[in-house]
Amino acid sequence: MKIKSLKIIFIVLIILFIIFSCSSTKGSLALSSSTLTGKTYKLINMFEDSGITISFYNTEFYGYGGANTYFGEYEVRRGNILLIKKIEVTKISEEEEDLKKEEDYIKYLNTASSIEFNGEDIVINTLDKDIKLIFKRLY
């Protein structure tokens, strides 16, 4: 009887270990381009007054950079590795202050290394571990 009880406890412990080891400590979910498609986000942790946005459609992204619009391609690998490719920026605005903020934002976006998704909002981590782009979902 003791051995049977120990086996049950051991099995329960293994199941609990598997469940907890598979869940992320940050509460972020694995995602793909289909998870992001059709969603628009606003940057909330820097350049708040600039109205910077990012939207996703299949393997492409686009948005407002604070002075101009921008667009490019992206890929999500292994659930959260983010590859940003071919960012292009329109050249409409000439407001120097807005252009500087936009330039900094695009520079950070170009160094994206991973993305976290909590079901609503996203965080784009950059190669500079101190810089994170935090976005709130608009629609």
pLDDT of the residue at 135:
97
CATH number at residue 124: 2.40.128.270
pLDDT of the residue at 22:
47
Q: Is residue 61 part of a domain?
A: yes
Question: Any residues with CB less than 8 A from the CB of 134 and at least 6 apart, and which?
Answer: 43, 44, 45, 121, 122, 123
Q: Is residue 124 part of a domain?
A: yes
Q: Please count the structural domains in the chain.
A: 1
Instruction: In whole angstroms, give the CA distance from residue 123 to residue 135.
Output: 6
More confident residue, 18 or 135: 135
Q: Is residue 1 part of a domain?
A: no
Give the pTM: 0.77
Q: Is residue 14 part of a domain?
A: no
Q: Is residue 3 part of a domain?
A: no
Domain of 98 in residue numbering reads as 29-137
Q: Is residue 9 part of a domain?
A: no
Return the closest-CA partner of residue 48 out of 137, 135, 116, 138: 135
Q: What angle do CA 72, 134, 137 make, to 5 degrees?
A: 80
More confident residue, 78 or 135: 135
